[in-house]
């Protein structure tokens, strides 16, 4: 916290219990599998704080001070369904910046502040950019409905891949769906209504599927470009060159590539060894759902799957929580207990 204060951050606190409705609106029902949920007789459904970013953004959107830098430290809570050795309660210390002046400079600022706090540990840094993939999806020559579906599942790689294969005409349509869409009256042998969806909602979904079935497949060339982007895993300068080549055939990614180039320049100005900085286009797709641009993480060699620190840009989140108002934002968190362990502490 003292390190963040030296970087200009104001310390803030947030409640341990957060309104579940806000988090469910952001993440959908998937978050129930990761968060501890309880009920309050007056405040309704509540969740033990799964992270600090959402409440800090809500706090900032009420004041709209700009530029603003915040720091915080405290417990977060996450269910662990697959690995009982991973903690369900742990500490986070974070640094968040809200500013409109220079996105590349602010990205570099947050990265370098986090990196300098961890410098004695000789950690491996990994970077990525969700914005490049988002721009590539928006540039696909297909319907808005298909682009929206792919964007919705950007952070679910298996589901995203299945949709891309289906929209590209490379997966077989189930016989049951073919029969359903061909029926004059899909409800003829449906029986009684069950579940929470109304018959009108089901009918609307069937009509959406019919329209999609008549839509031409995404061209193999464009699908291959998405695959090429997802497979990029090299030093940042080499990835930048590859993305420049891809942007010739998929112009929508051009602005995102320009932002990446400006960020690398800003990182270099802060003394970051950009020439050897790792970049993975798929980084952050399974664990950083609200990030929509620059993402990064720091890892110890003997724990390659457990980040000591993570962060990134989340401009869209401020737009959602600000109810129409928005401000560019980027931040990162460190797990202090991992830092203690790596320093040889108990």
Per-residue pLDDT tens over the stretch 200-215? 888 888 888 888 888 8
pLDDT per residue as tens digits for the range 249-260: 999 999 999 999
pLDDT per residue as tens digits for the range 153-167: 888 889 999 999 999
64-68, 233-237, 309-313, range with the lowest pLDDT = 64-68
Distance CA 203, CA 184 (A): 12
pLDDT per residue as tens digits for the range 54-66: 889 888 988 767 7
Which pLDDT does position 192 carry in this prediction? 82
* 222: helix, strand or coil: helix
Distance CA 343, CA 121 (A): 7
Which pLDDT does position 28 carry in this prediction? 66
Q: How many CB atoms lie within 10 A of CB 130?
A: 26
Residues 263-277 have a mean pLDDT of 96
- Model confidence, pTM: 0.88
- Between helices 144-152 and 130-138, what is the axis angle to 10°? 160
Which pLDDT does position 18 carry in this prediction? 87
Tokens of 22: 């806000």
Distance CA 321, CA 325 (A): 8
Which pLDDT does position 115 carry in this prediction? 97
43-52, 125-134, 260-269, range with the lowest pLDDT = 43-52
């Amino acid at each position: 916290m003292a390190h963040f204060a030296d970087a200009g951050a104001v310390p803030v606190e947030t409640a341990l219990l957060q309104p579940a409705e806000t988090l469910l609106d952001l993440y959908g029902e998937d978050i129930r599998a990761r968060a501890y949920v309880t009920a309050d007789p007056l405040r309704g459904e509540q969740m033990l704080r799964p992270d600090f970013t959402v409440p800090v953004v809500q706090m900032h959107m009420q004041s709209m001070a700009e530029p603003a830098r915040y720091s915080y430290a405290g417990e977060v809570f996450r269910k662990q369904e697959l690995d009982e050795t991973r903690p369900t309660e742990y500490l986070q210390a974070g640094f968040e910046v809200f500013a409109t002046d220079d996105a590349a400079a602010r990205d570099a600022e947050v990265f370098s502040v986090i990196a300098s706090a961890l410098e004695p540990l000789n950690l491996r840094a990994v970077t990525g950019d969700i914005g490049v993939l988002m721009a590539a999806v928006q540039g696909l020559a297909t319907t808005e409905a298909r682009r929206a579906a792919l964007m919705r599942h950007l952070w679910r790689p298996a589901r995203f891949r299945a949709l891309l294969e289906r929209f590209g005409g490379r997966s077989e349509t189930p016989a049951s769906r073919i029969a359903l869409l061909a029926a004059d009256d899909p409800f003829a042998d449906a029986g009684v209504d069950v579940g929470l969806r109304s018959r009108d909602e089901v009918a609307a979904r069937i009509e959406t599927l019919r329209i999609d079935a008549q839509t031409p497949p995404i061209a193999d060339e464009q699908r291959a470009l998405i695959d090429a982007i997802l497979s990029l895993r090299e030093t940042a300068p080499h990835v930048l060159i590859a993305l420049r080549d891809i942007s010739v055939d998929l112009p929508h990614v051009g602005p995102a590539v320009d932002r990446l180039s400006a960020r690398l320049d800003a990182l270099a100005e802060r003394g970051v060894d950009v020439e050897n900085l790792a970049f993975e286009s798929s980084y952050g797709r399974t664990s950083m759902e609200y990030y929509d641009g620059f993402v990064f993480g720091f890892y110890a060699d003997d724990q390659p799957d457990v980040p000591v620190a993570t962060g990134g840009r989340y401009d869209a989140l401020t737009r959602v929580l600000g109810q129409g108002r928005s401000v560019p934002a980027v931040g990162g968190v460190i797990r202090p207990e991992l830092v203690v362990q790596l320093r040889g502490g108990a």
